[in-house]
């Protein structure tokens, strides 16, 4: 059920510097070599070969990326053969791509100007809509008059009538020419009177009047302007079609050369990606990296086939000091893919740590169902997940089990769309009627979960060759003994007895061992500091375990809360007539599924992250990223790759 990341080996290849491009291509062809980022051996091999080659590649790749935005090209072309791309060929390719981009950029600029012209036309058309109902020459609204005061703008519809009445008293007329959403577009006209201008402005301000700016280019009848805009749009469309046709013809003439350029860059890329993992000193060079243990022989065989000159291929296990640099490759499993994606949001497993995929999948689905148990609502979740499976992708494998878990606990609780013991009778217990019992169950589940997580922490420390931490650490064996013995004693006290001499012995022994270890670790510190640290350390471990256990009360609390929300919905529904009753039931269930379902999902994830992962899962690992040839794989190659991963 539990796996550690696939075993990795450190590989060192020593060869002639001139053979490094061939070796990099051979490594990428197998697709299992992850370069070592530490620049191993830089004291003896100070030079990173291919600096100019790398600059040429980056410039050529940048030009190809920009060209591909305009010209259609296959995303991953197939390779007919694998060969080394030398610096001279890459330089010629870069110069050719520069010429192609010079022409392509002229098309890009042409399309940019056309888009800008279209934006201006759209803006002019949108502005015209504000004055579409006016049957006057808009040019007249630009001109100043010695005898008339003229205002064009918008006013809130609720203020329009009051404004019209107030303007009438001031000797002005208001004409509404467009009704918008909550606003009215108006023209206000009256005799020009400088003495009354301030008073008029006060009236307009009180009515929340906002002036409309009439662009200078709208100086004709709206219909005539509209015809002019349509003519401009037609001309613009013709220009774009002509430019697009020219571009497509030019692209078709270059199709073969561009695909060949793609292939050349693909073949040049592995040497560039090796970066500082590839070093040299004179005629001798080295390459270092990480390879899955099961793929080492295949990798060595491919280098032997591709490189004719002698080379040295050295393989060893990772040392304890370099574990943090070893990439982690989690066991591939299609069924667990969505759970692994969620796990990676917390972090990538450190090399050698337990892969928590199975544990996370089982406990996450279990806790979600326990907190959100309802046959009907779980069925809706399952049905929606299946209905939208294309949109969800592989996350349907997460959503469906969550729905099925909700259905299972719905039968256990006797709940169907909030009806408890009405449509079906509970198999186990009704949370709403036995909240104390559910709280006890939540505590026992928390003890089981925390113990299991702490046991995995112990396992991880032993795997990492840290026996003292595994036995006496914060989540070590002695801490687990302390936790379980205290919980055992508390259970006996809750049942009306005493703490018990057996739990007492185990509690004292575990505290003594933890304290002695802490005392020894601080042998260079002052006595008072050692006493304080030892006392606080043991208490911190104890209180931490207890508080973590109490966090699992939320599993019980949400199972009760789920029923309580349903009762609230029924209370509202029962106060309405028949139609209102069923509308309330439907809307209430939707509310519960959306709101409480989301909260339960978040709380379940929180328990997994903070009460589980924080104990045994560091999440500070480095993901395995092998160098590969970025090509379209054939069906045979795809099948071979899948078989290798499952081996």
Q: What is the pLDDT of residues 87-117, one digit of tens each?
A: 999 999 999 999 999 999 999 899 999 998 8
Per-residue pLDDT of 575-610, as tens digits, reads 999 999 999 999 999 999 999 999 999 999 999 998
Mean predicted confidence (pLDDT) in 472-486: 90
The CA distance from 554 to 442, in Å, is: 8
Confidence of residue 505 (pLDDT cuts 50, 70, 90): very high
Q: Which of 140-149, 272-281, 369-378, 633-642 has the lowest mean pLDDT?
A: 633-642
- Is pLDDT of 65 > 80? yes
The CA distance from 505 to 510, in Å, is: 9
Q: How many angstroms separate the Cα of 515 from the Cα of each of 162, 279, 471?
A: 83, 50, 13
When the pLDDT of each residue in the chain is averaged and rounded to a whole number, the result is 86
- Is pLDDT of 643 > 60? no
Burial degree of 466 (CB within 10 A; 0-12, 13-18, 19+): middle
Confidence of residue 8 (pLDDT cuts 50, 70, 90): very high
Confidence of residue 635 (pLDDT cuts 50, 70, 90): very low
- Is pLDDT of 642 > 60? no
Mean predicted confidence (pLDDT) in 192-213: 81
In this predicted structure, what is the pLDDT of residue 465?
Answer: 82
Q: According to DSSP H, which parts of 38-86 are helical? A: 51-68
Q: Which two tokens stand for residue 361?
A: 């999948």
Q: How many angstroms separate the Cα of 230 from the Cα of each of 225, 236, 243, 331, 338?
A: 9, 10, 20, 61, 51
Do residues 486 and 507 make contact, with C-beta atoms less than 8 angstroms apart? yes
Mean predicted confidence (pLDDT) in 254-279: 92
Q: Which two tokens stand for residue 363?
A: 């406990």
In this predicted structure, what is the pLDDT of residue 190?
Answer: 84
Domain 143-213: CATH class, spelled out: alpha beta
Confidence of residue 449 (pLDDT cuts 50, 70, 90): very high
- Is pLDDT of 221 > 70? no
Confidence of residue 217 (pLDDT cuts 50, 70, 90): low
In this predicted structure, what is the pLDDT of residue 597?
Answer: 92
Mean predicted confidence (pLDDT) in 217-225: 61
- Is pLDDT of 640 > 70? no
Q: Which two tokens stand for residue 394?
A: 């592989």
The CA distance from 549 to 212, in Å, is: 65
Per-residue pLDDT of 247-265, as tens digits, reads 999 999 999 999 999 999 9
In this predicted structure, what is the pLDDT of residue 351?
Answer: 86
Which neighbouring-strand residues pair with 153?
186, 211
Do residues 160 and 186 make contact, with C-beta atoms less than 8 angstroms apart? yes
Domain extents in the chain? 143-213, 334-622
In this predicted structure, what is the pLDDT of residue 497?
Answer: 85
% of the chain residues with pLDDT over 70: 91
CA 12 and chain centroid, separation: 35
Mean predicted confidence (pLDDT) in 57-73: 91
Do residues 538 and 544 make contact, with C-beta atoms less than 8 angstroms apart? no
Mean predicted confidence (pLDDT) in 404-414: 95
Nearest-Å Rg of the Cα atoms of the chain is: 37
């Amino acid at each position: 059920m539990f796996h550690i990341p696939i075993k990795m080996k450190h590989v060192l290849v020593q060869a002639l510097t001139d053979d490094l491009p061939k070796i990099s291509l051979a490594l990428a062809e197998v697709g299992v070599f992850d370069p070592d980022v530490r620049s191993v051996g830089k004291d003896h091999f100070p030079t990173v070969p291919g600096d100019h080659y790398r600059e040429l590649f980056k410039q050529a790749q940048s030009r190809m990326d920009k060209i591909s935005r305009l010209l259609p090209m296959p995303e991953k072309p197939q390779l007919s053969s694998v060969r080394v791309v030398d610096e001279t060929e890459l330089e010629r390719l870069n110069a050719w791509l520069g010429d192609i981009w010079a022409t392509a950029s002229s098309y890009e600029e042409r399309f940019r100007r056309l888009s800008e012209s279209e934006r201006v036309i759209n803006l002019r058309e949108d502005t015209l809509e504000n004055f579409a109902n006016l049957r006057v020459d808009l040019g007249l609204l630009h001109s100043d008059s010695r005898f008339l005061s003229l205002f064009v703008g918008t006013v809130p519809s609720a203020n329009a009538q009051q404004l019209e009445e107030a303007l009438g008293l001031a000797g002005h007329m208001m004409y509404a020419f467009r009704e918008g959403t909550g606003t009215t577009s108006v023209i206000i006209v009256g005799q020009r009177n400088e003495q009354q201008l301030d008073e008029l402005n006060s009236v307009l301000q009180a009515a929340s009047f906002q002036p409309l700016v009439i662009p200078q280019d709208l100086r004709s009848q709206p219909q005539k302007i509209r015809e002019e805009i349509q003519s401009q749009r037609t001309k613009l469309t013709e220009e774009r079609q002509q430019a697009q046709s020219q571009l497509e013809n030019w692209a078709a003439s270059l199709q073969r050369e561009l695909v060949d350029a793609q292939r050349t860059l693909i073949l040049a890329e592995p040497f560039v990606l090796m970066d500082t993992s590839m070093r040299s000193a004179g005629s001798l060079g080295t390459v270092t990296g990480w390879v899955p243990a099961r793929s080492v022989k295949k990798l060595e065989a491919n280098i032997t086939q591709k490189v004719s000159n002698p080379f040295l291929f050295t393989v060893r296990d990772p040392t304890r000091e370099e574990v943090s640099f070893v990439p982690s490759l989690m066991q591939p499993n299609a069924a667990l893919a969505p759970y692994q994606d969620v796990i990676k949001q917390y972090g990538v497993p450190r090399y050698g740590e337990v892969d928590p995929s199975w544990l996370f999948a089982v406990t996450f689905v279990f806790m979600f169902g326990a907190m959100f148990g309802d046959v009907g609502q779980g069925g809706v979740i399952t049905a929606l997940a299946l209905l939208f499976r294309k949109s969800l992708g592989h996350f349907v494998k997460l959503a469906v089990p969550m729905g099925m878990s909700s259905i299972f606990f719905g039968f256990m609780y006797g709940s169907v769309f909030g009806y408890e013991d009405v449509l079906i009778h509970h198999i186990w217990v009704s949370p709403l009627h036995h909240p104390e019992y559910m709280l006890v169950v939540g505590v026992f589940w928390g003890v089981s979960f925390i113990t299991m997580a702490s046991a995995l922490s112990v396992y991880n420390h032993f795997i990492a060759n840290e026996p003292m931490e595994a036995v006496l650490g914060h989540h070590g064996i002695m801490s687990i003994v302390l936790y379980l013995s205290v919980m055992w004693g508390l259970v006996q006290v809750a049942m009306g007895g005493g703490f018990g001499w057996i739990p007492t012995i185990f509690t004292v022994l575990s505290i003594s061992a933890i304290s002695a270890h802490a005392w020894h670790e601080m042998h260079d510190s002052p006595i008072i500091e050692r006493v304080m640290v030892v006392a606080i350390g043991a208490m911190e471990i104890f209180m931490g375990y207890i508080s973590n256990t109490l966090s699992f009360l939320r599993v019980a609390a949400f199972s009760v809360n789920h029923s309580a929300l349903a009762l609230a919905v029924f209370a509202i529904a029962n106060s309405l007539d028949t139609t209102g009753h069923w509308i309330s039931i439907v809307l209430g269930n939707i509310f519960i599924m959306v709101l409480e379902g989301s909260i339960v999902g978040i709380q379940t994830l929180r328990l997994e992250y903070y009460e589980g992962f924080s104990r045994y899962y560091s999440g500070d690992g480095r993901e395995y990223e092998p160098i590969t040839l970025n090509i379209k794989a054939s069906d045979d190659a795809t099948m071979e790759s899948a078989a290798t991963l499952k081996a």
